[in-house]
Structure 1
Amino acid sequence: MKSILFGILCLLLPMTGMAADGAPKFVIVSDIDDTIQKSQIHWKLNPIAFAKNLFSFHDAFVGMPALYNTLAANGIDFHYVTAAPKFLSFLPRKFLETSGFPVGPLWTRDSVRDPMADYKEMKVIELMKANPDALFILVGDNGEKDVHAYKRVQDHPEFGKRVALTFIHKLYDDKTGSPLEPGQKPYISTAEITLDLREAQLLNDRSTEAILKQVERGLQSSSAKIENLTIPEYANYDQNSIKALATRALNEPNPEIRRLIFSITTSMNERLNPTERNALPRFLEQKSLRIGHCSKALL
């Protein structure tokens, strides 16, 4: 599966866009609020928390700095595109520096009057024009306009074919936030996006293990703050997300990565209400899971 996906990505890119080792060139366009930084952008749900998060420069989601730095070390370029107005650009800039994210241009709106979705769509296309030989990975959240802006880019008649992957941090339900569009991959924690990038052969097993261990430690932390920086307390997910992650573990050939996925699945499941929490053991029983201590821990 991994080699097939990698082959498809290579076919999408002209030979002029290949790196010296034959791998395609990638650019990541990343949002900031609720994508890599805990923001609770739907401030009406909790205005006090939003105000506090606005001026917090240490609230990176656990594992995201490590993930982005690993990708940058592998030659991927980063552009940070935020809907924050230019006069507030010092806030995301300081967050990126303080949290240790890889260096990359920061793009902000000229005016708060500029429609967010229009601005982000135009900025991504502008970056595609400036990097004609690159494939793009788009990373955002479902809190505001990323879903719609990225969908427009995906559907663009000229540039859409250069969108290799689109990841959406799915923190809000469909009423509060935006339902994902076809082709957009959801992630609840850094674990899911890490596994997807590994599947695309953009991360090796060692890097994947290191990032998953950060997520595992974060969810098992005795500090509520760290736990909520791994998966925020306002994240809206259900047993379907848990089952999807458990299924990945069932199909994982690497023993340590399989163990880590199960551990993360267990911790995520414990955060659900009791009724939904009980769905996982039944699901595993139906799958006839028999892998020793991992199954016992979950059942």
Structure 2
Amino acid sequence: MSIKIENLTHIYMKNSPFEKKALDDVNIEIKDGEFVALIGHTGSGKSTLIQHVNGLLKPNSGKIIVDGVDITEKKINLSFIRKKIGLVFQYPEYQLFEETIEKDIAFGPKNLGLSDDDINNRVKRAMNIVGLKYEEYKDRSPFDLSGGQKRRVAIAGVVAMEPKVLILDEPTAGLDPKGRDDILGEIKSLQKEYKLTIILVSHSMEDVAKLADRIIVMHNGKCILDGSPVQVFKEIDTLESVGLAVPQVTYMVRKLKHKGINISEDIFTIEQAKEEILRLLNKG
């Protein structure tokens, strides 16, 4: 499902001493099935932007066209739009509330008016997608799980709604490295299997380098860079000027290049670096 954002501006507390322009004439188009990473420091406008995409916030000006429908128009059925767009907030485990994992994941599908069989099938499928075995976990309390497992349950609850677009706001915040890698791997698998449009909000350059087809960089409410990981991570000076950076492995590659080693500069992940170093060794 495609998303087109045209001339979007949002001002918090307009006409007050605390007025702040959070989004400033933003124009972005996201194609059906794209995996887009949205990066930028706190206050750059990332969270404000994603809350507009499913109508949680209304813009001061501009349009948001989702699947051909302008959701900023009056009398628009936002509940219909929100069924298509799943939004996983930062630390979503704090939104768990049911007594069992199965009931928590089933909550959303029940509100869609589905049959018991359809709800059960969606719960099983969603649990499988996030790596939780149905029979092992369905009757357990979500509050007895580890942080990473709670995160999976929360994501499964959104996945069970079977959205066309999945927006994730810092889905790996606070997780250990293994938990982070597991969650990100499952998100990528989810996109491949269901051809979802995914928008990932993240501070981690390493994460977005591994996952995203495209990276959008926000700063002071504006989109300052938009392109493939190769295109964006070549703009080191621009990224550093707004307090961001490229993945650490890219800095290592630049140092090797400056020392006269004929290594490709288009390396942004550990896996890419490993392949390139092995290639050089075999060549030598």
TM-score range, shorter chain: 0.3 to 0.5
Kindly indicate which of the two structures has a greater share of residues assigned to strand: 2
Structure label with greater radius of gyration: 2
With normalisation by structure 1, the TM-score equals 0.31
- Higher RCO (C-alpha under 8 Å, 6+ residues apart): 2
